[in-house]
Amino acid sequence: MSSGEQFSAPSLKRETCVDLAVIGGGFTGCSAALEAARAGASVALFEAESIGYGGSGRNVGLVNAGLWLPPEVLIAQLGHEGGLRLIKALAKAPDITFELIDREAIDCEAQRKGTLHLAHSPNGLSDLEDRHRQGVALGAPLRLLDATETAQRTGSHAFFGSLHDPRAGTIQPLAYVRGLARAAQSAGAVLHERSPVSKIVFEKETWALVVGDYKVKARHLLVATNAYHLGISDPFRPQFVPVQYCQYATAPLPEPLGTAILPGREGCWDTALVMSSLRRDLAGRLIIGGIGNSDRPGGKLHAAWAARKLAALFPSLSRQEFTHGWSGRIAMTRDHVPKIVAFGPRAMACFGYSGRGIGPGTVFGRGCALALLSENHDSLPVKPLESYDERFTAARALWYEFGASLVHTTSARL
Ligand SMILES: Cc1cc2nc3c(=O)[nH]c(=O)nc-3n(C[C@H](O)[C@H](O)[C@H](O)COP(=O)(O)OP(=O)(O)OC[C@H]3O[C@@H](n4cnc5c(N)ncnc54)[C@H](O)[C@@H]3O)c2cc1C
């Protein structure tokens, strides 16, 4: 599928010295590079592959106004002050993202039509009622929709109701990250693709990076590699459980077939434990996703599940084939809260969005850049940690894949 924005940058071909070095060309790294360059710093960003190669170019495209966790759980985990600080920062994330898209004229199919969190069962509806109560208590403009209105908005009778969030919207994620990269470059940041960082050392009060055959010196350093972290274990390696999520896209739905399906173009995900997502793109494709790795030998079962799911949700699409399929890796933390780790002098890593990285990546990236340059951490969305550890990550990753495979094999209808 084509992305409106194109971007390319040369690999690093000389030694360089900058105020801020950023490792990773996803939402976090590109947002950081853009903000730092706009603040007048000299910035170099190094991407091992191409901009958007990681989760940023592979995701569903839902620009949410929060994390998976309901507010009361976040407050219980982070404390009253810490929880509210993160909730407020992320409530503004769609405003920040869509304003950035407008300001930088990023051609990324931005549709601010809200999202629908869909109740897949009566229990799912109770969960949404509780989320609605919690969100409204904090001033979120959420609306609980009954099964009839949900059916009108989705074109499917499979749901028991839904929670509408008008602050949210959808984008074409690869185009968005390329647009951020282009904007960062225009603001003066120097970006390098196919430039993997293989070594990081703190020497003589400066960060020294090895990038291909060249050495880079930087006063400040941001590691923004999230679930696609590659090759560096010292002085820092992000810890997370890698969870795969796959998606399948139809060809643009012909009319009148597509007329009734998500006519309002909300982005959707459901309340199931092994969740799934739905989005229509600007060309009219329907994109359906679920947990699981479509690239594995056993990945065909996820494609077969997606076809059955499509037919069950929308019987008129039972013959519709998928033209595209892909997978991406999510960095899940045990409490599902993103982490900022200040792992050395004037150095941070930012990771663990647990499947919510468009708005949060944009907000955390710019926040980390400004905190690093000002050497003041007070305005960050979460308090930076000195270190962060996750245990049994490989076993837990297998558990997610096994669970998704089991559900996708056994769910005959949905
Ligand atoms: C399938 C899928 C669906 C998702 N859906 C949504 C959604 O709908 N809404 C939402 O908000 N979030 C979603 N997410 C989460 C979101 O995509 C991620 O949280 C986000 O992309 C993380 O951005 P990032 O910039 O931190 O990392 P990434 O985009 O992963 O970028 C990291 C980059 O670092 C590079 N890199 C790694 N090591 C090195 C090195 N040594 N040297 C140089 N470069 C290096 C990688 O090549 C990679 O490009 C989804 C994620 C996936 C995988």
Residue nearest atom 37 of ligand 1, based on CA coordinates: 229
| Rounded mean pLDDT, 377-398 | 89
Residue 211 in contact with ligand 1 by CB distance below 6 A:
no
Residue 3 in contact with ligand 1 by CB distance below 6 A:
no
Residue nearest atom 20 of ligand 1, based on CA coordinates: 357
pLDDT score, position 264: 96
Per-residue pLDDT band for 274 (boundaries 50, 70, 90) equals confident
How many Cβ atoms are within 10 Å of 121's Cβ, its own excluded?
A: 14
Give per-residue pLDDT as tens, 115-159. Answer: 999 999 999 999 999 999 999 999 999 999 999 999 999 999 999
Give per-residue pLDDT as tens, 316-340. Answer: 999 899 999 999 999 999 999 999 9
- Report CA(198)–ligand 1 centroid distance (Å): 19
- Report CA(326)–ligand 1 centroid distance (Å): 14
Q: CA 288, CA 296: separation in Å to the nearest integer?
A: 18
Per-residue pLDDT band for 296 (boundaries 50, 70, 90) equals confident
Residue 66, phi then psi, degrees to nearest 5: 170, -175
Residue 230 in contact with ligand 1 by CB distance below 6 A:
yes
Residue 367 in contact with ligand 1 by CB distance below 6 A:
no
CB under 8 Å to 320, separation ≥6 — which residues?
A: 250, 251, 253, 257, 286, 310
Give per-residue pLDDT as tens, 195-254. Answer: 999 999 999 999 999 999 999 999 999 999 999 999 999 999 999 999 999 999 999 999
Q: CA 190, CA 183: separation in Å to the nearest integer?
A: 11
pLDDT score, position 2: 63
Write down the architecture of domain 1-112+170-239+335-383 according to CATH.
3-Layer(bba) Sandwich (3.50)
**Strand, coil or helix: what is 116?**
strand
Cβ neighbourhood burial of 84 (10 Å; 0-12, 13-18, 19+)? middle
Q: CA 272, CA 71: separation in Å to the nearest integer?
A: 19
334: left (phi over 0), alpha (psi -120 to 50) or beta: alpha
Residue 49 in contact with ligand 1 by CB distance below 6 A:
yes
Residue 131, phi then psi, degrees to nearest 5: -65, -40
Q: How far is CA 308 from CA 251, 255, 298, 404, in A?
A: 17, 22, 17, 15
Share of the chain above pLDDT 90, in %: 87
What residues are paired with 142 via a beta bridge?
A: none
Q: How far is CA 374 from CA 69, 387, 400, in A?
A: 31, 21, 40
Question: E-strand spans in 39-183?
Answer: 43-46, 62-63, 115-118, 143-145, 162-165, 169-170
Residue 61 in contact with ligand 1 by CB distance below 6 A:
yes
